[in-house]
Amino acid sequence: MPVDSFKYLPRSIAAYYQTLVVQKADPIPWTAFSKPLNECRVAAVTTAGIYNKDSDPPFDAEREKREPMWGDPTYRRIPRDVRRDQIGASHLHLNNRDMLADVNTVLPLQRLAEFESGGVIGSLAQTNYSFMGFQPNTTEWRERYGPEVAGLLKDEAVDAVLLAPA
């Protein structure tokens, strides 16, 4: 049975989403996956708005409260061995309880590390990334932060990215 995208959305938000017009990418960007998976470095990226409290500030929730049509477009680095007590969450549109209890619900670092020790993937990237998914205006993601993180991932010789919108 096909996945119902609207199953867990309140009806008003579902109705709103269905009115939005989006330009479909044509052609859809494509980088063929050419290496064997067990030789690949894989990184994980989430839009759950998590951050490493020991090294970074939260996403700017205070500004979003003042400007409800703005979402913080920046990103945070999440090291592969981040500890549970280091994770902070600053997404104003989600109940952050479960991602704070277990980061794997949004950024499956320990799961990917297990696939690494099992030889399924070559390696998990040292640095993974978090964005904050409420972006009424995606210009900064497209023009600045998306390409910037792509460059950082390539600097660490990442081949493939597991990306999970929250």
Q: Identify residues 44-83 at the interface with another protein (CB under 8 A).
A: 45-48, 64-65, 67-69
Task: Pick the binder of another protein from 78, 87, 106, 132 (CB under 8 A).
Answer: 106
* 95 in contact with another protein (CB under 8 A): yes
Q: To 5 degrees, how large is the angle CA 74–CA 44–CA 157?
A: 95
Which of 81, 102, 137, 156 binds another protein (CB under 8 A)? It is 102
What residues between 115 and 144 interact with another protein by CB under 8 A? 115, 120-121, 131, 134, 136, 138, 141-142
Which is nearest to 160 in space by CA: 38, 31, 43? 43
> Which of 78, 82, 132, 158 touches another protein (CB under 8 A)?
158
> Using an 8 Å Cβ cutoff, are 7 and 123 in contact?
no
- Size of interface with another protein, in residues (CB under 8 A): 74
**Structural contact between residues 129 and 56, judged by C-beta atoms closer than 8 angstroms:** no
Query: In the bound complex, what is the minimum distance in angstroms from residue 148's beta carbon to another protein?
Result: 9
CA distance readout (Å), 85 to 11, 39, 49? 36, 32, 16
Select from 15, 54, 154, 156 the one that contacts another protein (CB under 8 A).
Answer: 154
**Per rule CB under 8 A, is residue 163 in the interface with another protein?**
yes
d(CA 135, CA 71): 5
Task: Report the C-alpha gap between 130 and 165 in whole angstroms.
Answer: 10
- Residue 155 sits in the site that holds another protein (CB under 8 A): no
